[in-house]
Amino acid sequence: MKIVLCCASGMSTSMLVKKMQEAAVKKGVDVNISACPVTELDVKASDANVILLGPQVRYELANVKSNFGDRAGVDAIDPRDYGMMRGDKVLAHAIEIAK
């Protein structure tokens, strides 16, 4: 499964990607997790199973759903999970919405 986290510049989600990867190893889940800015979604998320938007780009949710919703699970990351870097919770949410 390919999960793409999206934020304003692609930098702030890198720590969350690492936490999610650690959680995936613990759970034995085979995933590819990456981060990118919202402006690069067309290139970086074309084959994603799940696209999760960081709180700072949550306003793009309807647009991303209209562009990718037919082929990927799309949602916003819970701001509390994002702020606390709860990689396990974000991973569980991604798995739940995967198409």
The 10s digit of each residue's pLDDT in 30-88 is 999 999 999 999 999 999 999 999 999 999 999 999 999 999 999 999 999 999 999 99
Catalytic annotation, pick one of 3, 7, 35, 52: 7
Q: What is the model's pTM? A: 0.94
pLDDT at 10 over 80: no
Based on the residue annotation, tell me whether 6 is a catalytic residue of this protein.
no
Q: What are the percentages of helix, strand and coil residues in the chain, rounded to 5?
A: 50, 20, 30
Domains parsed from the chain with CATH numbers: 2-97 (3.40.50.2300)
Alpha helices in the chain (DSSP H): 14-27, 41-44, 61-68, 79-83, 87-97
